[in-house]
């Protein structure tokens, strides 16, 4: 078993349920860094799922211990976290968040016989090129998300100039490329296609270029920090353009950055799991504790729930037994009844369009 670690990797172990748990599972994501808001979503969902499963008797009579790994959305750190999980004897991981972390980490999980179910990694390569059959996701894919966004742009902004921006990351560039592809297939060409660097703070020159092109819609393939700054600075500099992005702005942190400049921002995301009747008790429990079920909280809950239910059906936590169930049987979860296809992608409804209003987001197109 691989034991190699990168020095300095942040790694915390949390105990849920019984003091001496029998099964160790992991959750991994950006617990620190500029995407820590999403790591918090994953951690909240994982802790609640483990608490509920243990309260109901655990998995096959055994309690669960949760180990939390911080990858900071860094590929090398993600591999180190995966190796740490392997050294702990973890049999399942809910994670990672960033596609750029999940893809390299999945190689370790495949080699070590650890099942990985990502609640949030949307890059197609995660499953299209998966290194083993134990790699799954309960979220959608960027080609699905890009199709919804690209067709929407072509239909609703056919007479206005469009800018397509990306942050060069596996997630951001992948999403922007897919959106641009489907937009062009529907007859709309981007007036501007530019990349920026994660961590940039001043987008004045880019905004000036977009003003000169009289851009009416800014599509951003990237995360909430830069997307929020671009939206805010565009309004401050007099660019009256609609901002559109993907599921990486499904966090209150986006609005905290934009303030009123975020009003009218469009966003693709999967159908809101908070609206599912199955999720109501979990949402209520989280709210009672002062926590939120926004974004990927319930997707993380569902990832753990999926593994636990498969292990119960298999009457085992062994890799072969659990993957056999995951590959063949439906599972009822808080995000709906799901199955996995031959690639490990989930057969749930795809993406819908949302709009940010008054600091909240909701559908503007119906879930299919």
pLDDT score, position 349? 81
Tokens of 22: 């029998």
Instruction: Return the DSSP state at 18.
Output: S
Q: How far apart are CA 283 and CA 292, in angstroms?
A: 8
Are the CB atoms for 200 and 169 separated by under 8 Å? no
Q: How far apart are CA 176 and CA 133, in angstroms?
A: 28
At 3-18, the pLDDT tens digits run 333 334 444 444 343 3
Q: How far apart are CA 126 and CA 191, in angstroms?
A: 30
Between the alpha carbon of residue 55 and those of residues 58, 60, 135, 276, 277, the distances in Å are 7, 13, 27, 22, 21
Q: How far apart are CA 95 and CA 192, in angstroms?
A: 34
Between the alpha carbon of residue 124 and those of residues 64, 68, 72, 137, 273, the distances in Å are 31, 25, 21, 11, 22
pLDDT score, position 7? 35
At 184-201, the pLDDT tens digits run 999 999 999 999 999 999
Q: Which residues of the chain have pLDDT under 50?
A: 1-21, 367-368
Q: Strands 92-95 and 23-29, how do they pair?
A: parallel
Q: How far apart are CA 62 and CA 256, in angstroms?
A: 42
- Whole-number CA gyration radius for the chain: 20
Range 11-140+274-338 classified under CATH 1.10.10.60: no
pLDDT score, position 367? 43
Between the alpha carbon of residue 340 and those of residues 91, 101, 136, 137, 358, the distances in Å are 19, 21, 8, 8, 37
Evaluate whether 11-140+274-338 and 143-269 have a shared fold. Answer: yes
Cβ atoms within 10 Å, residue 291: 17
At 107-155, the pLDDT tens digits run 999 999 999 999 999 999 999 999 999 999 999 999 999 999 999 999 9
- Could you tell me the residue ranges of all domains in the chain? 11-140+274-338, 143-269
Average pLDDT value over all residues in the chain: 93
Q: How far apart are CA 236 and CA 245, in angstroms?
A: 19
Q: How far apart are CA 182 and CA 194, in angstroms?
A: 17
Fold of 143-269: Rossmann fold (3.40.50)
Strand partners, 221: 166
Q: How far apart are CA 319 and CA 196, in angstroms?
A: 41
């Amino acid at each position: 078993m691989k034991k190699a670690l990168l020095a300095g990797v942040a790694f915390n172990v949390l105990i849920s349920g019984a003091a001496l748990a029998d099964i160790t599972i992991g959750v991994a994501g950006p617990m620190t860094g500029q995407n820590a808001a999403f790591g918090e979503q994953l951690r909240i969902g994982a802790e609640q799922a483990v608490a509920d499963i243990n309260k109901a008797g655990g998995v096959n009579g055994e309690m669960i211990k949760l180990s939390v790994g911080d990858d900071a959305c860094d590929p090398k750190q993600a591999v180190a976290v995966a190796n740490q999980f392997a050294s702990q004897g973890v049999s399942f991981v809910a994670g990672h968040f960033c596609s750029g972390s999940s893809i390299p980490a999945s190689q370790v999980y495949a080699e070590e016989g650890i099942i990985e179910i990502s609640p949030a990694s949307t890059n197609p390569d995660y499953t299209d090129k998966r290194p083993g059959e134990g790699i799954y996701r309960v979220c959608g894919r960027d080609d699905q998300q890009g199709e919804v966004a690209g067709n929407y742009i072509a239909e609703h902004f056919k007479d206005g100039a469009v800018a397509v921006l990306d942050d060069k990351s596996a997630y951001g560039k992948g999403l922007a490329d897919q959106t641009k592809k489907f937009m062009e297939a529907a007859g709309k060409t981007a007036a501007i296609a530019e990349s920026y660097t994660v961590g940039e703070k001043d987008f004045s020159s880019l905004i000036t270029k977009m003003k000169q092109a009289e851009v009416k819609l800014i599509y951003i393939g990237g995360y909430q920090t830069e997307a929020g700054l671009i939206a805010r600075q565009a309004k401050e500099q007099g660019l009256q353009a609609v901002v559109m992005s993907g599921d990486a702005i499904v966090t209150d942190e986006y609005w905290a950055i934009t303030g009123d400049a975020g009003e009218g921002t469009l966003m693709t995301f999967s159908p809101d799991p908070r609206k599912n009747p199955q999720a109501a008790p979990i949402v209520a429990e989280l709210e009672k504790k002062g926590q939120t079920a926004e974004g990927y909280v319930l997707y993380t809950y569902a990832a753990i729930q999926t593994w636990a239910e498969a292990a119960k059906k298999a009457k085992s936590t062994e890799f072969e037994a659990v993957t056999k169930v995951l590959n063949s049987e439906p599972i009822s979860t808080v995000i709906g009844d799901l199955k996995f296809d031959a690639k490990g992608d989930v057969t749930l409804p795809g993406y819908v369009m949302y709009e940010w209003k008054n600091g909240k987001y909701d559908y503007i197109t119906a879930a299919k």
